């Protein structure tokens, strides 16, 4: 879910900050390496979410202005 993703993302960012690293291993359920998450991956995901939020805000603002006219 989005909530679980946000919690994992926040935990990854906290670990990166605490350890002074930009990449973390991602392990599967058996503890084997499944991949690597990089700080850049997180930044890209967040920037995409902010872009969507910005588009929604602009649409709503335009709608508010039109309703006032």
pLDDT tens digit sequence for 36-69? 999 999 999 889 889 999 999 999 999 999 998 8
List the one residue out of 41, 7, 46 whose CA is nearest residue 22: 41
Q: What is the CA radius of gyration of the chain?
A: 18
List the one residue out of 15, 17, 13, 18 whose CA is nearest residue 41: 13
pLDDT score, position 15: 97
Taking the model in full, what pTM does it have? 0.67
The per-residue pLDDT of the chain, averaged, comes to 92
Both tokens of residue 65?
């202005």
pLDDT score, position 45: 87
Task: Please state whether 37 falls in left (phi above 0), alpha (psi between -120 and 50) or beta.
Answer: beta
């Amino acid at each position: 879910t989005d909530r679980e993703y946000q919690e994992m993302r926040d935990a990854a960012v906290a670990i990166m900050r605490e350890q002074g690293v930009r990449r973390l291993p991602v392990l599967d359920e058996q503890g084997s390496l499944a991949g690597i998450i990089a700080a850049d991956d997180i930044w890209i995901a967040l920037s995409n979410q902010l872009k969507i939020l910005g588009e929604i805000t602009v649409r709503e603002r335009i709608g508010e202005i039109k309703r006032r006219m």
